[in-house]
Chains A and B, each alone.
Chain A
Amino acid sequence: AQSVSQHNHHVILSEAASLELGCNYSYGGTVNLFWYVQYPGQHLQLLLKYFSGDPLVKGIKGFEAEFIKSKFSFNLRKPSVQWSDTAEYFCAVNKGGSYIPTFGRGTSLIVHP
């Protein structure tokens, strides 16, 4: 069965620190990859996605993620976090041809001002 692993469950940073959240998946074929974010009191929303082309994808609010096929990874990065980035971050993976994303457990990010 396909699984998605997010290694960091809780991350605490100060503003202006750099961020990298890990995401690994177990499926070896074609995949579509997503990062979703859930801000406090809000619903889940898409941050960025990859399904083909340039493996470095840019999303909203200065976030980016790099697909490294050989490592089965899709890590999320931001060079300088802000207090407003405090949220829960979820990595999700679709097998190619599947309509159903499998989500990781999520990473809770707290950014101190």
Chain B
Amino acid sequence: GAGVSQSPSNKVTEKGKDVELRCDPISGHTALYWYRQSLGQGLEFLIYFQGNSAPDKSGLPSDRFSAERTGGSVSTLTIQRTQQEDSAVYLCASSSGQGSEKLFFGSGTQLSVL
């Protein structure tokens, strides 16, 4: 596609529910990233995919968070048993995977846990 697409753009959920966030990267980009942006906290790295593999998932805050990528394309970030502290904007980015190349970001999913 023309850019990185994320859905939904907004998600309101109740504490304890599971949520799935979707990212559709730019076609042909092998690298895919998930970051979390909280108010005043900058961008917090969550997980990095190269193809369908996740060589670095060190940023996932707890075992309630998981992510997968299929077909070297779409990725899903799943948060189980959501907590209020999970409220944030979840950003997906993709790149050609060359290391020094720029990231292309999606518009993010605003997650609100009530």
Contact = CB atoms under 8 A, between A and B. Distances in A.
B114 interface: no
A97 B98 CA distance: 9
B1 to A, nearest CB: 14
Interface residues of B, number: 25
Contacts of A43: 3-4, 105-108
A99 B43 contact: no
A49 B103 CA distance: 11
B90 interface: no
B48 A32 contact: no
14 contacts: A9-B40, A36-B103, A43-B105, A43-B107, A44-B93, A49-B102, A51-B100, A92-B43, A99-B31, A100-B48, A100-B56, A103-B43, A104-B42, A106-B42
Interface in B34-58: 35, 40-43, 45, 48, 50, 56
